[in-house]
Amino acid sequence: MSENQNIKIAVDAIVFGYQNGKLYVLLIQQKFGSETSYWALPGGLVHNNESLQDAVQRELKEETNVSVNYLEQLYTYGDSINRDPRNRVISVAYFALVDSSKFKIKADSDAENVQWFAVDEIPKLAFDHNEMIENAINRLKAKLSYQPIGFDLLPKEFLFSELENLYCIILNKEIDRRNFRKKILSFGIIEETNQFSPIKTGRPAKLFRFNSIKYKAFLDNGFHFEIKLA
């Protein structure tokens, strides 16, 4: 016997940013719905005429004024039939990495407020959004060892110590900084610039830049990025 479906498709975005030695995630407070008072991930229902990626990009821009370059599908959430008390909703979650200093966040559309939260200070969120963030953090930790995605969280030019600290913060452990530096530099995908850090503390420190064009060319020739930090 056929059954008419009444299932809605949504997208949610876990957007990570990095500032002042901490990893952050972007959250909104919703204007409408039964969980208005809760913070939640940016997201919403997919329009009939748009792709999933177009939908998540649109929701991010509308609700937070953030646009992203690095966007990866994380997981589909729908096994819990009552995950959204309003309707049967299946959500496709994406995670993104941005240089948070580049954006002036602004709540609009369905969002009453928008704010960066340190990942160790995230409140109880609406729906299953805490689970989504936990899954995204685990994915991020795993990918650091085989893909140079950490550069998406940093400014175009950065101190090498910032890159080291970024890995320590995300992995939540200390790393062998000398071996890490030697390994990263051996890949030939970051280059020292002629610019120095504007922060005047002790010996002037050179800024570095990730060469994405060189990295893509290396990939075409079978390059394999791998860092073991155990």
Maximum separation of any 2 CA atoms in the chain, in Å: 76
Q: Which of 215, 216, 217, 197 is nearest to 206 (CA)?
A: 197
Q: Which of 37, 45, 30 is nearest to 113 (CA)?
A: 30
pLDDT band per the 50, 70, 90 thresholds, residue 138 = very high
Is 35 within 8 Å of 75 (Cβ atoms)?
no
The sign of the CA dihedral 92, 112, 69, 185 is: negative
Model confidence at 224: pLDDT above 70: yes
pLDDT > 90: percent of the chain: 63
Model confidence at 139: pLDDT above 90: yes
Q: Which residue has the higher pLDDT, 94 or 144?
A: 94
Please state the rounded mean pLDDT for residues 13-17: 97
Residue with tokens 């039939």: 81
Task: Provide the token pair at 19.
Answer: 């500032």
The pTM (predicted TM-score) of the whole model is 0.90
pLDDT tens column, 42-89: 999 999 999 999 999 999 999 999 999 778 999 999 988 888 888 889
Helical packing angle, 160-171 and 129-143, nearest 10°: 130
pLDDT tens column, 144-194: 989 998 999 999 999 999 999 999 999 988 888 899 999 999 999 999 999
Chain mean pLDDT for the chain: 89
Which residues are within 8 A (CB) of 203 and not within 5 positions of it... i.e. 6 or more apart? none
pLDDT of residue 213: 92
Model confidence at 230: pLDDT above 90: no
pLDDT of residue 1: 47
Q: Which of 190, 220, 223 is nearest to 208 (CA)?
A: 190
pLDDT of residue 55: 97
pLDDT of residue 227: 83
Query: For residue 14, which amino acid is it?
Result: I
Please state the rounded mean pLDDT for residues 197-208: 76
Is 131 within 8 Å of 88 (Cβ atoms)?
no
Rg (CA), the chain: 20
Helix (H, G, I), strand (E, B) or coil at 9: strand
Q: Which of 17, 13, 14 is nearest to 118 (CA)?
A: 17
pLDDT of residue 159: 93
